[in-house]
Amino acid sequence: MLKGKFSFGLAAVEALFKARMPPLIGTDISSSAIKMVEIDAAGRGMYRVERYAIEPLPKDSVVEGNINNLDAVSDALKRCHKRLGSGVKNLALALPNAAVISKKILVPAGQTEDDLGLQVETEANQYIPFSLDEVNLDWQVLRPAPNSPEDVEVLIAASRKEKIIDRVAVAEAAGLRASVMDVDVFAAQTAFELIENQFPEKGKDQNIAIVDVGASIMAVNVLRNNESVYLREQPFGGNQLTQEIQNRFGLSPEEAEAAKRAGGLPENYESEVLRPFMDMMGLEVARALQFFFTSTQHNQVHHIVLSGGSAAIAGAEEAVAKRVQVNTIIANPFANMQLSSKIRPRNLTQDAPSLMVACGLAMRRFDP
């Protein structure tokens, strides 16, 4: 996550948030599946995807980022790790965006790390609606303050301890170890750094929206020069398509999900079910961008990067680009990586949009 100093009250989580603990498996626990990615170095500045695995989660075992059924999630995590076939047991996990309070503050420059830590805690009290004893707090110095040379800009982030403890417990119950804890949005930004060279001048001075369309939530994170300038979540996702398939064709939730991925639905599926869903996706993205324009000083988005499971649906790219009239690409942070012999390139390309967070987490092993 950040490279600051955390104050923990529990031994079980004291070792988290270390900057470098290789080797690691990036592990994304979303509301619909567990996704694992293992990446290794492959020469100077190059990486190799060693292996990855995706394991579906039972319905409602994770809701809005909260682990509701620890046993079901830990069992799925154990199955996913077995399918991955890796001997590595250290995991880099992430908290959902909604579980983290983050804020940029200004503090006087030139302080020692201890003094800075004390001031951050004092400032954090103003923004965190809980006692500091109830949260894990982290911070990172970003840069000199643009309009105040005697100050520095610091990003603080805090989460309730139980949110972290739930994820630690799930890992331990699966016989694994939570070695790093990040945040979904930060992990996705790390993966985005592997994509930005696809844009003119690597996206410099351009507004680039990462639009993650998951099972139930669409998250929009607008970056400018690798810094988030806007973040919004709204209820929309692939579950709506699955539900419509169930209703229209009389399938169980499991059958509908399988048919959505594998195909084989009646001929009228595309025109009567899929196309309206894609149109709705384009509308939701346009709506999110309108909120961005009205709540910031910006009036343009130069590029859109579509990620999440729903981004892998054929035609998603065209549907969004047509609606919002913005250059749109499907996220693939692995495009310039080498692949081990265990990886099927076609499968990885199909799954890549849903692996953004897991990829960003796997990259934590290369932190300086």
For helices 70-84 and 161-173, angle between their N-to-C axes, nearest 10 degrees: 50
Name the residue with tokens 């199909």: 350
Where does the chain show beta strands of DSSP type E?
25-29, 33-41, 47-56, 62-63, 66-67, 90-95, 100-108, 135-144, 151-160, 177-183, 207-213, 217-224, 227-235, 303-307, 327-330, 338-339
Query: What is the reported pLDDT for 15?
Result: 43
Q: What is the DSSP letter of 199?
A: S
The CATH topology of domain 198-331 is Nucleotidyltransferase; domain 5 (3.30.420)
Query: What is the reported pLDDT for 22?
Result: 67
What are the average pLDDT values for consecutive 10-residue runs of the chain, which has 368 residues? 36 41 88 95 91 94 90 97 96 91 85 85 81 82 84 86 93 96 92 94 95 93 92 93 93 86 87 94 96 96 96 92 96 96 94 97 90
Q: Give how far the C-alpha of residue 131 lies from the chain's centroid of Cα atoms, to the nearest Å.
A: 27
Neighbour-count burial for 83-96, b at 16+ CB within 10 Å, e otherwise:
ebebebebbbbbbb
Phi and psi dihedrals of 52, rounded to 5? Answer: -150, 160
105 vs 97: CA distance, rounded Å: 19
Query: What is the reported pLDDT for 264?
Result: 81
The CATH code of the domain at 101-160 is 3.30.1490.300
Query: What is the reported pLDDT for 170?
Result: 97
Per domain, the residue ranges of the chain are 11-98+164-188+353-366, 101-160, 198-331
Phi and psi dihedrals of 100, rounded to 5? Answer: -120, 130
120 vs 2: CA distance, rounded Å: 14
Give SS3 for 162: helix
Q: DSSP states of 117-152 as a string?
A: HHHHHHHHHHH-SS-GGGEEEEEEEEEE-TT-TTEE
- The DSSP bridge pattern shows strands 33-41 and 47-56 to be antiparallel
Q: What is the DSSP letter of 296?
A: S
Q: Give how far the C-alpha of residue 169 lies from the chain's centroid of Cα atoms, to the nearest Å.
A: 20
* Closest C-alpha among 86, 62, 88, 93 to residue 75: 62
Phi and psi dihedrals of 312, rounded to 5? Answer: -80, -10
* Closest C-alpha among 263, 265, 237, 239 to residue 250: 265
171 vs 150: CA distance, rounded Å: 44
Same fold, 11-98+164-188+353-366 and 101-160: no
Domain 11-98+164-188+353-366 CATH assignment equals 3.30.420.40? yes
